[in-house]
Structure 1
Amino acid sequence: MEKSALQISRSAYQPKLPKALQGAVKIKEGNPTQSVDDQEDIKKLFPNTYGMPVVEFVPSEEACNTKMNVGIILSGGQAPGGHNVITGLFDQVKKLNPENRLYGFILGPGGLVDHNYMELTKDIIDEYRNTGGFDMIGSGRTKLEQVEQFEKGLEIIRELDIKAIVIIGGDDSNTNACVLAEYYAAKNYGVQVIGCPKTIDGDLKNAQIETSFGFDTATKTYAELIGNIERDCNSARKYWHFIKVMGRSASHIALECALQCQPNICIVSEEVEQKDMTLNQIVDQLCEAIAYRAAQGNNFGTVIIPEGLIEFIPAIGRLIQELNDLLAAHGADYKDLDKTAQREYIISHLSKENAATFETLPEGVARQLSLDRDPHGNVQVSLIETEKLLSEMCEARLAQWKKEGKYVGKFAALHHFFGYEGRCAAPSNFDADYCYALGTSAAQLIANGKTGYMAIVQNTTAPADEWVAGGVPITMMMNMERRNGEMKPVIRKALVELEGKPFKAFAAVRDRWAKETCYVYPGPIQYWGPSEVCDQPTKTLSLEQSK
Structure 2
Amino acid sequence: MTKSALQIARAAYQPKLPKALTGAVMVKEGEPTQSVADQEAIQKLFPNTYGMPLIQFVEGESKEYAPMNVGVILSGGQAPGGHNVISGLFDGIKKLNPANKLYGFILGPGGLVDHKYMELTADIIDEYRNTGGFDIIGSGRTKLEKEDQFEKGYEILKELGIKALVIIGGDDSNTNACVLAEYYAAKNYGIQVIGCPKTIDGDLKNDMIETSFGFDTACKTYAEVIGNIERDCNSARKYWHFIKLMGRSASHIALECALQTQPNICIISEEVEAKNMSLDDIVTYIAQVVADRAAAGNNFGTVLIPEGLIEFIPAMKRLIAELNDFLAHNGEEFNSIKRSKQRDYIISKLTPENAAIYASLPEGVARQLSLDRDPHGNVQVSLIETEKLLSEMVATKLAAWKEEGKYVGKFAAQHHFFGYEGRCAAPSNFDADYCYSLGYTASMLIANGKTGYMSSVRNTTAPAAEWIAGGVPITMMMNMERRHGEMKPVIQKALVKLDGAPFKKFAACREAWAKETAYVYPGPIQYFGPTEVCDEPTKTLQLEQAK
**TM-score, normalisation: structure 2:** 0.99
Q: Quote the Cα distance in structure 2 between the aligned partners of 1:159 and 1:2.
A: 37
Decide which moves more: 145-154 or 59-68: 59-68
Aligned equivalents of 1:366, 1:113: Cα separation in 2: 41
Q: CA deviation at 1:363?
A: 1.5
Alpha-carbon distance in 1 for matches of 2:311, 2:64: 51
- Residue in 2 that maps onto 1:181: 181
One-letter amino acid of the counterpart of residue 179, structure 1:
V
Q: What pairs up with 1:264-303 in 2 under 5 angstroms?
A: 264-303=264-303
Q: CA deviation at 1:64?
A: 3.3
1:322 match: 322
Structure 2: tracts of 5 or more residues without a match:
none
Q: Does 1:122 find its partner at 2:122? A: yes
| Distance of 2:541 and 2:532 partners within structure 1 | 15
Deviation at 1:327, TM superposition (A): 1.1
Aligned to 1:446: 446
- Give distance in 1, aligned partners of 2:89 and 2:64: 16
Counterpart position of 2:88 = 88
Alignment of 1:251-262 (within 5 A): 251-262=251-262
Give me the identity figure in percent: 79
Which residues of 2 match residues 25-40 of structure 1 at below 5 A? 25-40=25-40
Which digits, 9 at most, give the CA deviation of each residue in 1:208-263, with x for residues without a partner?
Answer: 11000000000000000000000000011110000000000000000000000000
SS at match of 2:387: helix
Matches within 5 A, 1:334-349: 334-349=334-349
Q: State the Cα distance separating 1:62 from its structure 2 match.
A: 2.3
Q: Give the Cα separation in 2 of the matches to 1:182 and 1:2.
A: 45
Question: Which residue number in structure 2 is paired with residue 413 of structure 1?
Answer: 413
- The one-character-per-residue Cα deviations of 1:267-287 (angstroms, maximum 9, x if unpaired) are 000001111111111111101
Q: Distance in 1 between matches of 2:340 and 2:60?
A: 74
User: Which blocks of at least 5 consecutive residues in structure 1 are unaligned?
Assistant: none
Contact 1:66 1:447 in 2 (8 A): no
> Tell me, what secondary structure is at the counterpart of 1:55?
strand
Equivalence for 1:461:
461
Distance 1:208 1:96 in 2: 25
CA contact (8 A) 1:25 1:63 kept: no
CA drift at 1:405: 1.0
Question: 1:116-265 to 2 correspondence within 5 Å?
Answer: 116-265=116-265
Aligned to 2:6: 6
In the alignment, which residue of structure 2 is the partner of 1:512? 512
Map 1:295-314; keep pairs closer than 5 Å: 295-314=295-314
Partners of 1:136 and 1:442 in 2: CA distance: 19
| Separation in 1, partners of 2:347, 2:417 | 31
Distance 2:270 2:176 in 1: 27
- Residues in 1 aligned to 2:296 and 2:341: alpha-carbon distance in whole angstroms: 46
Aligned to 1:485: 485
1:116 partner letter = K
Retained in 2: the 8 A contact 1:34–1:475?
yes
- Between the aligned partners of 2:90 and 2:368, the Cα distance in structure 1 is 47
Deviations 1:471-512 (A, max 9, x none): 000000000000011100000000000000000000001001
CA RMSD, Structure 1 to Structure 2 (Å): 0.8
Counterparts of 1:510 and 1:344, CA distance in 2:
40
| Distance in 1 separating the partners of 2:340 and 2:404 | 31
Deviations 1:146-174 (A, max 9, x none): 11111111111111100000000000000
Residue deviations 1:437-473 (CA, integer Å, cap 9, x gap)? 0000000000000000000000000000000000000
Counterpart Cα distance in 2 of 1:64 and 1:433: 27
Extract structure 1 runs of 4+ deviating beyond 6 A: none
| Pairing 1:348-427 to 2, within 5 Å after superposition | 348-427=348-427
Shift of 1:352: 1.4
Partner residue in 2 for 1:432 = 432
Counterpart of 1:535 in structure 2 is: 535
Paired AA for residue 161 in structure 2: D
TM-score, scaled to structure 1: 0.99
Q: Post-superposition shift, 1:369?
A: 1.0
Matched residue count: 547
Conserved? CA contact 1:75–1:173, under 8 Å = yes
Q: Indicate whether 1:65 and 2:68 are aligned.
A: no
Partners of 1:458 and 1:187 in 2: CA distance: 33
| Distance (Å, rounded) in 2 between the aligned partners of 1:52 and 1:12 | 39
Q: CA deviation at 1:340?
A: 4.3
Return the offset for 1:336: 1.0
Secondary structure of the residue aligned to 2:475 is: helix
Give the SS at the match of 1:476.
helix
Whole-Å separation in 2 of the counterparts to 1:144 and 1:178: 10
Alpha-carbon offset, residue 404 of structure 1: 1.1
